[in-house]
Each structure stands twice: as structure tokens, then as C-alpha cells.
Amino acid sequence: MAEKKSVNLEKSLSELEKLVDKLESGDSTLDQSLSLFEKGVSLYKDCKKELDKAEKKISKLTKSLKEEELD
């Protein structure tokens, strides 16, 4: 299951990079650019949420290791 989330994160990051490239190219209309930006914000939030979950899990695991060392 963790692999699936990782794949989704990697896919989202890749898609976000493509959106940024499209926006930076300047080839889109204003409406297209706004739509791309909106999708990018959504992808960013999804990625941030997954990364925050991973960070919390790492912190929890690290804390448990430190507690074991003290015992």
C-alpha cells in the first residue's frame, strides 16, 4: 500500500512539473493558464499532504527508536 502512495506522489510531482513547464512556456491563453494553475495548486496540496504524513511517520519511528535506546 505504501508503494501505491509513493507512485501517486511521484506521478503527481511529475504532472506538476509538466504543468509548470506549460505555464512557463507562455503558449497558453489566460483561461488555460488559470486552469493549469488551479490544477497545479491542487496537485501541490495533495503532494504536501502525503509528504506531511511521511514526515510524521518518520518522526514517530525515530522517536520510538530513541525510546528503545534509553531502555
% residues pLDDT > 70 (the chain) = 89
What's the pLDDT at 67? 80
For the entire predicted model, the pTM comes to: 0.76
CATH 3.40.30.10: does it fit domain 2-70?
A: no
- Indicate if the pLDDT at residue 19 is higher than 70: yes
| Predicted local confidence at residue 52, as pLDDT | 96
CA distances from 48 to 4, 12, 28, 52 (A): 16, 11, 26, 6
Average pLDDT of the segment spanning 20-47: 96
AA identity, residue 66: K
| pLDDT score for 1 | 47
Q: Residue ranges per domain, the chain?
A: 2-70
Whether the predicted pLDDT of 5 surpasses 70: no
